[in-house]
Chain A
C-alpha cells in the first residue's frame, strides 16, 4: 500500500443520499438529505464540514463510514474506487473510523474502559499478544493518564471530556487512516472542548490521519481545520481554506452563519436577519436552495442550480454572484464583494 501525500486517502465523488419516508398511511416521499457532494480527505489534514442541523453534514459522515448506503456516487480509497458491497469489508472498517457526538450514549455503560477498548483490538487482531498493554497504550495516545487508573473505570465515572477521549481511543484502536468525527465536542463543557480539539490536531500532525470534522461551530472549524466545507440543505455551498472562508466568505449563506456566531471581539455586530428557516428537504427549492432567504437573490437563482464557481485556486462557491460570465438575465455589477453588504433593492429585481 502506497502512502502518498498528494492522493486523498478517502474521497467521495458526487455522493447523494435520499431517504424514503412514509407520509401518512399511503404516501411516500423522498428526503433529499445530501446531494452531489464531493470531498477529498488527504493525510495529515483536517477537513471541517460546517452547517446547521438538517444540512446533511452527518449524513455525509455516515456515508463515508458506509453505515449508510449511497443512493448514488462513488467512494475512492487511496485512489481506488471502493466496491460498494452490502457487507463492509473488515479492512475498510479498520481504515475508516467514526467517532460519534454523544460520549454519554456511545459507550456501553455496563462495561469498563478495559472492555470497551479491548473489543476492537481483539476483533481486528491488533493486541500484539498483550491486551492489557495495548489498551494502556491507547489510553496514553489520547492523553488519559495515568492510564492504569482509567483502565478499570466505567463510563459513568468519567467526565464528559474523558469519555469523549475514550470514544476517540476506541476509534484509534484499529490504526485507522481516516477519522470521521461527528460533532465530537458539542456535548462537552467549554473548558474541555479545546483539549479534545487539540488532541485531534495532534493526531493529524503526529499520525498523519485524515480527519473529517463535522461541526455547527464555525469558529472551532477555523481553529482546527485546514479546509472548510459549508453545507446548506443537503448541498455544498462553499469550500476553501479555513482562513479564506472565515475572512472572506463568498457565499451569502456562509456570511449569514458567520454573522450569527457569537463573537465577543466584535463590539458592534450587524445582524442582517435570517429571513426564514432552512427549507424542507422533501421538496427543496428549485435552483439554489438558499435563494428564498438570500438578500442577493437574482432571477436565475430560482431557476438554475449554481455550479461551483472558482473564487481562487482552492476556494469555490456555488453561487451565481460569482459567475465569471454573467448571463443576460443577471444584473451588471452583481459580482461585488459580499463584504460590502447587500445591494440596493433596485438591483435585486
Chain B
C-alpha cells in the first residue's frame, strides 16, 4: 500500500454528500495524494492531519484562510468543490492560493438564483422573466401583479425543493405560503438572507434538458446532454429520468450548448464543472439554472468516458476523474462520452412516511439493460415528497444501444420496486 508522494488535491466534501465515494475513488485511481476537507471534523482528523481537514464552509473567506494555513505544511495544487456551497469555497481557496478555479464572484452568482438571472438577462441570455419577493410580503397583493403561469422558487435550495408552479392568484397565494414555510424550516433558515426572499418567474413551456460539461479557460466542453422524458409542468418539479444522448435534433442541441456557454461567460465562470438545466421551445433555448458544480446525487454514475491512445489502447474514466484531472492541470487526452446510451432514474419519493422496507430490488436489477438499483434511503428514514422533501430514496441505472431502450428499462425497473412505508 506504500507509494511515493504525488500532487495533492484538496477535496471539499459536505458531510451530507452522496459524492464522497465517487470523488475519493477518482483521486485514488489517479494516484494523487488526497486531503478531504469537510464541515465537521472526521473521527481520524487528529491522527491523519495531512489527509483530513475541517473548514468553515459557511464562511468562504475564513475557509480560504484556513486552507492557506494548511497548505503551508501540506501544499496542494488543486481544489474541487462538489456542490453549490463548496463550489464557492473552492473558488475562494483557488483565488487566495492562485490555483485553477473560478472567481469567487462568479461562483457566488451561480449559487444565487436571483443574481444569476440578473447577470444573464443583462448579458442577453434568454431567461424567464423574474422578480424577487420578501417572504414576509403580502401574497394577496403580490398575486395581483403576476403574469401567469409562474413558478415560485427559493434562492438557494437545490433539486427542485420548494419549486412550485401557480396558474392563478389563488394558487400563487397557496404556493407563496407553502414555500415560505419551507424557507422557515431551521435547516433552510440557517442560510440567512437568501431564506427571507423568494423568486417568482415566468413558467417556460417545453421539454427540459440537463447539460453536463467542463469549463477550461472559459471554453465549455459539453460532456453530455440529458433528455428528461417525463414532462416537468408542475405544480412540483420532481426530477425522474435522465437519458443521454439527447434525442433532440443536432441543431437544437448546438443551440442549447451555445446558450450554456453564453451563460457561463456572462456569470464569469471560467474553470471546472458545469451543470445546466435548460428548456427548449419555438423561441429557442432558455436557461433555467446553471451551477458551477457537477451533476448531483448519484447521477454521475450514468456517465462514462473513453479515449484512445495512438496505439489504439482505450482508456476509461468517470466524470469525477475528469474533474480531478482538470483541477490538478493534468491532461485530458481526448476523453468523450461512451457511444452507448445511458440513463438514470432518480426514484420518486413514493409518499410521506417512514421507510420500512423496499421490495423488488433484485427483480428490478434483473430487468434487461438495468445495471444497478441503489437504495440510498435507510430503514427508518422519514421520506418527504416534494416540494418539502430533499432526498430521493434511490437511483436506477441502465445502459443500452438506444436512448428509448434505456428509458423503457428504467421505467420497467421502477415498476418492480415496492416501498413499504
Chain A complexes with chain B = no
Q: Which residues of A are interface residues toward B (Cβ below 8 A)?
A: none
